[in-house]
């Protein structure tokens, strides 16, 4: 790796993890372009893009190519990908408000967390060691636990999309009928739903914690 004094914008843009990020964006564009024409291909492309989210972080640490741009690119790609899938699910399931609410919670909580971290002078939004919530600290402090929650969430959304046969599906009926099909489906859905629920709880805690941090910043600035 070149020395810091020799770095140029092009060098950072062409970091290996950032190139992976560009590939993820391209895969997602292709995936959503054919999502209703070929559900299986969409699911494969979307999931590969999701897996690459872990790869870019590994390459960044491996080759000492961690960058602020890369971190922002990674989060923006994650949030937009999930948001697009939730919008699609809101079109094929009823009540659609469930998925739109999940979209708002996901984007709102992460945006607030990023901004509050910036106000606190932290280098990463994942630095939550000072949080009073043990679940929040565990989520960002344990990569395996965080991976389980994220994988559960994305796989559940993909599975729901694959299970939808028309654009007027009732979410509860689909989940119950799928769970009744076999013990394998029941076990898989139970595992995914637990991870999904945990992530939504973390998102709520994250939003509340970040909002409190912004309020305390305002109070401290005016005193």
Catalytic residue IDs: 78
Both tokens of 171, joined, read: 């979410």
Distance CA 124, CA 82 (A): 21
Give the chain as a DSSP string: ---GGG--HHHHHT-HHHHHHHHHHHHHHHHHHTTTT-HHHHHHHHHHHHHHHHHHHHHHHHTT---HHHHHHHHHHHHHHHHHHHHHHHHHEESTHHHHHHHHHHHHHHHHHHHHHHHTT-S-TT--TT-S-HHHHHHHH-HHHHHHHHHHHHHHHHHHHHH--STTEEHHHHHHHHHHH-HHHHHHHHHHHHHHHHHHHHHHHHHHHHHHHHHHHHHHHH-
Q: How far is CA 76 from its chain centroid?
A: 9
Reference 76, options 112, 113, 107, 118; nearest CA is 107
Both tokens of 68, joined, read: 């602020």
């Amino acid at each position: 790796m070149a020395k810091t004094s020799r770095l140029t914008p092009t060098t950072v843009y062409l970091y290996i993890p950032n190139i992976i990020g560009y590939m993820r964006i391209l895969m997602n564009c292709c995936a959503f372009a054919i999502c209703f024409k070929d559900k299986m291909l969409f699911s494969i492309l979307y999931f590969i893009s999701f897996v690459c989210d872990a790869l870019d972080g590994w390459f960044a640490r491996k080759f000492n190519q961690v960058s602020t741009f890369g971190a922002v690119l990674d989060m923006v790609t994650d949030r937009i990908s999930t948001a697009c899938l939730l919008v699609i699910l809101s079109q094929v399931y009823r009540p659609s408000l469930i998925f739109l609410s999940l979209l708002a919670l996901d984007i709102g909580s992460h945006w607030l967390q990023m901004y509050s971290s910036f106000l606190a002078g932290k280098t990463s939004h994942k630095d939550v060691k000072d949080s009073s919530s043990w679940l929040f600290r565990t989520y960002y402090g344990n990569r395996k636990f965080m991976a389980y929650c994220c994988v559960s969430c994305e796989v559940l959304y993909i599975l729901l999309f694959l299970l939808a046969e028309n654009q007027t599906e009732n979410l509860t009926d689909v989940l119950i009928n799928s769970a009744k099909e076999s013990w394998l489906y029941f076990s898989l859905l139970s595992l995914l739903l637990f991870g999904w629920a945990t992530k939504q709880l973390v998102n709520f805690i994250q939003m509340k914690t970040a909002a409190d941090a912004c309020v305390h910043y305002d109070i401290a600035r005016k005193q």
